[in-house]
Amino acid sequence: MEQRSSRQVYANDWMTVREDAVRRDDGSDGIYGVVDKPDYALVIPLDGDRVRLVEQFRYPLGLRRWEFPQGTAPGRSELAPAELAARELREETGLSARRLVELGLLDVAPGLASQRGRAFLATGLTQGAAAREHEEQDMRTAWFTRAEFEARVAGGEITDAQSIAAYTLLLLWERGT
């Protein structure tokens, strides 16, 4: 597929939306609407058999959701993945990690968004003060046993796709695959 032209139709501090005219392999023309966001980091804080989650209101869904700490750098800037992971962990939970292990790469919604993310495991945790962004002022955080986390996923209470996918990467990493 070949991009013939592109025009930005919307922008804010977190994303841009563009419309691309494309030529498909069969020669026919089409359009794609693409959401461009910076890459994100997601962190699984693990302490023994417990994981730390954050809960916040997700405006597009109109619901509060539990998920692993995750986010992008402010102002659509780019940071090294491990640096971003440490920043998000500290910002949302107040935790610092002695060890961050990259678990893998996740694509958010490749049919409409360019955003990709790196999942990390954080261990050797120490508690400090959270430094949340203004949009995160309603955020809560709590520890869950892994069994509680899995039960909440199975019960449809935890539905964040990135968190569920990252947990799968953790399980594969623990198995050595």
32 and 54 housed in the same domain: no
Whole-angstrom Cα distance, residue 119 to residue 123?
13
- Taking all residues of the chain, what is their mean pLDDT, rounded to a whole number? 94
Whole-angstrom Cα distance, residue 23 to residue 30?
6
Q: What average pLDDT does this structure show over 145-166?
A: 97
* Predicted confidence (pLDDT) per residue in 30-81, tens digit: 999 999 999 999 999 999 999 999 999 999 999 999 999 999 987 767 889 9
What φ, ψ does residue 127 adopt, rounded to 5°? Answer: -90, 135
Q: Which domain holds residue 8?
A: 2-36
69 and 154 housed in the same domain: yes
* Predicted confidence (pLDDT) per residue in 136-151, tens digit: 778 899 999 999 999 9
31 and 55 housed in the same domain: no
Q: What is the tally of structural domains in the chain?
A: 2
Q: Which pLDDT value is given to residue 76?
A: 67
76 and 160 housed in the same domain: yes
92 and 8 housed in the same domain: no
17 and 57 housed in the same domain: no
96 and 163 housed in the same domain: yes
CA atoms within 13 A on the CB side of 97: 25
**Could you give the angle at the alpha carbon of 73 between the alpha carbons of 15 and 124, nearest 5°?**
140
128 and 105 housed in the same domain: yes
Q: How would you list the strands of the sheet with 29-36, edge to edge? A: 2-11, 16-23, 29-36
* Predicted confidence (pLDDT) per residue in 86-104, tens digit: 999 999 999 999 999 999 9
